[in-house]
Every structure is written in C-alpha cells, then in structure tokens.
Structure 1
Amino acid sequence: MGLDKKIVLASGNKGKVREFVKMFTDLGLDIVPQTELGVGDVPETGTTFVENAIIKARYAAEITGMPAIADDSGIEVDYLNGVPGIYSARYSTLDDSFKGTADSTDANNNLKLLDALKDVADDSLRTARYQCILVYMRHAADPTPII
C-alpha cells in the first residue's frame, strides 16, 4: 500500500497541525491543513470517535480531491458511563447543568467533569481513558479507510 506524499489534514487546529506535521515529515509526507485549502469544518454527526473521524476525513477528501487524514478524540470516564466521550471538546456547553461560563474551553470542560465527580469519594471509581482514532482516506469514496 503506497501513501500519497501530499495529504490534507482534516483540522484547522494549530496545535494539532503542528503535531501532525512533526509526526509525518520524517516519513516524507506533506501534511496540508484543510484551512489552507479553503475547507471548513463539517458537522460531527457520528455517534463514535471512528464515525466522526471518517466524516471529517471523507469531507476533506471530497472538497480537495486529495487523500485525507483526520482524528477524533476525547476522554471517557467509567463512572459516567463513558461521558463526555465524543462530546469532550464541548462538554461544558452541552446543557445547563454546569454553571461555568458559556465558553467550551479545556478549563471549563475539566471543571464540569470534576463537578460531575464531586460526590465520588472513592478514587478507585474515578477511572478514565483517552481515546484517539486516526483515519486515512485514500479518496472521498474510499470503501475501506485505514483506521
């Protein structure tokens, strides 16, 4: 399986762009952020990290005609049955239960998470994992993306 040398990154997040460029430059790949190609964000309508990563990669590949790579990630807290999960980036703004500011920042998301766990005194029940899914689409109609 050969990879194209120029790949669109389905993200405009500057930190993420830096990380991907650093990771893939050593492999001889040219990672181009979607924002440099006039591609906007697509609604993440999936119910899993895999679905959302595929949605983003497929959209970027469709608009640019280039192969695309995308990720979707978040934290899953066991005591909260996997919440915030795919909503990690906007967790603090999902409902009115959190009385922080209206901004969905990392700090506010963390505060809401701590608030949700405030009555959990047993540290052994405060377990979680970080999920990160990467998807590579050779083209927009790719029936078997690399996950």
Structure 2
Amino acid sequence: MSPRRFGGGRLVIASHNQGKVREIGDLLAPFGADVVSAATLGLPEPDETGVTFVENAELKARAAAAASGLPSLADDSGLAVAALGGAPGIFSARWAGPNKDFLAAMARIEAELGEQADRSARFVCVLSLAWPDGHCESFEGTVAGEIVWPPRGDKGFGYDPIFRPVGGTLTFAEIEPAAKHAISHRADAFRQLVAACFSPG
C-alpha cells in the first residue's frame, strides 16, 4: 500500500522543544506546510510509554492529531552510545532531567564511559506523521559518529556538543545548521518522509 501524502495546509509539530520545532520547520519550508507547534496550541505532552523510538514517535503524533484535528508530525530521537548498551537511547531527554540540563546529561555519559576505548555512538531519529483518523507513517534515520570530550560548540542543542560524525572533525554543535541539516539523523529520516508523503509546494 502506498504511503498517504500530506496535502498542504496546517501541520502540527508535536513537540515542546523549540530547537526541534525550528529545525523541522526549516526542513519543511519548501513543501507548503504551515507549521505550528504543539506548545503554541497548548497541547499537553503525552507520557512517552513506548519502548522504542518508533513507538514513542507514533504515540506523540497520534495524540497531537487527535487533540488538534490536524495532521501532526512527531519526532522521537536520541543518542545511542555503543559501550553503554545503546543508552541513553529513548531516555535521552530524561537524562537531562526536568530542567533540560544537557550539560549534566553529557557529563553523565562521559562519566559512564570512563576509560572505555569504544566511543562510537549514533543519533537516531524517527519521524511519524499522523492524521486525525489515526493513520500514521513512520521513518527512521541515523547518523554514526563518536563521543568527544569536553563539549564543543554552541550552534546545536541537546547532545550535539559531544557528537562528532564519522569522517568529520567538528561536533554537531560546531558546524553551521545548514551543514548539519544535510547530514543529520533528522535529515536522513526527513528525506524518507518527504519522498513518501510530501510534494514540493
């Protein structure tokens, strides 16, 4: 069965993370989507009870679509560190605590890695596009890299300052946003989403 396509108009970004909303809005600009965030609409954040990125993304997208009556796009993403068994993974945001203290979360990763030689990691992003009738399409993107310490750069958000992509010399927080958009896990998922569900505006 072919994927359902987005027909234009308002699209809810099911996130209260303004960095994430801005990044998704930039990527969607060419496709005729009038983007509005869940926070702007006053939609509550559902409990992320899934055990995978896909389950959490679909849960958030469906909740926002049902509450708003509009197509909704949700992202569930995080950092998976190989030597930590894939942690923090789906708990990436929760490691930062209620105050979103990513400096503390990054320090925790460094402390738990200790003297481990394997510092490989990957960012994972699942994008789920849901409609008010419950239909949902999901796409998973990844980018491989390694953990560096200390944190470097101030252009990104979340764990970007300690993640250096494979083949690169700069962290995600040191490169320009346009360059990050071209290679990121979100960009990978986005290419799949756009090819399946969007047409240029």
* TM-score category of the 2 structures, normalised to the smaller one: 0.7 to 0.9
Does structure 1 residue 64 correspond to structure 2 residue 56? Answer: no
User: How many residue pairs get matched?
Assistant: 135
Structure 1 residue 135, shift from structure 2 partner: 0.7
3-state SS, counterpart of residue 35 of structure 1: coil
> Which residue of 83, 97, 101 corresponds with 1:105?
101
Contact 1:59 1:140 in 2 (8 A): no
TM-score normalized with structure 2 length: 0.63
The structure-2 alpha-carbon separation of the partners of 1:25 and 1:108, relative to structure 1 and needing over 3 Å to count, comes to same
Q: Which structure would you say has the larger RCO, counting Cα contacts within 8 Å and 6 or more residues apart?
A: 1
The structure-2 alpha-carbon separation of the partners of 1:29 and 1:109, relative to structure 1 and needing over 3 Å to count, comes to same
Where does residue 6 of structure 2 map in the other structure? 3
Does structure 1 residue 115 correspond to structure 2 residue 107? Answer: no
* Structure 1 segments of 4+ aligned residues over 3 angstroms from their partners: none
Q: Percent identity?
A: 37
Extract unaligned runs of 5+ from structure 1. Answer: 94-101
Does structure 1 residue 13 correspond to structure 2 residue 17? Answer: yes
Q: What is the CA RMSD across the aligned residues, in angstroms?
A: 1.7
Structure 1 residue 25, shift from structure 2 partner: 1.6
Where does residue 77 of structure 1 map in the other structure? 81
Instruction: Tell me the amino acid that sits aligned with residue 2 of structure 1.
Output: R
Structure 1 residue 39, shift from structure 2 partner: 0.6
Extract unaligned runs of 5+ from structure 2. Answer: 140-201
- Listed one character per residue, the Cα deviations across residues 90-135 of structure 1 (whole Å, up to 9, x for unaligned) are 2255xxxxxxxx8541111100000001131x2xx11111101111
Q: Distance between the aligned counterparts of 1:15 and 1:140, measured in 2?
A: 28
Structure 1 residue 36, shift from structure 2 partner: 2.0
3-state SS, counterpart of residue 48 of structure 2: coil
Q: Distance between the aligned counterparts of 1:104 and 1:115, measured in 2?
A: 18
Contact 1:8 1:67 in 2 (8 A): yes
TM-score normalized with structure 1 length: 0.84
Structure 1 residue 23, shift from structure 2 partner: 1.3
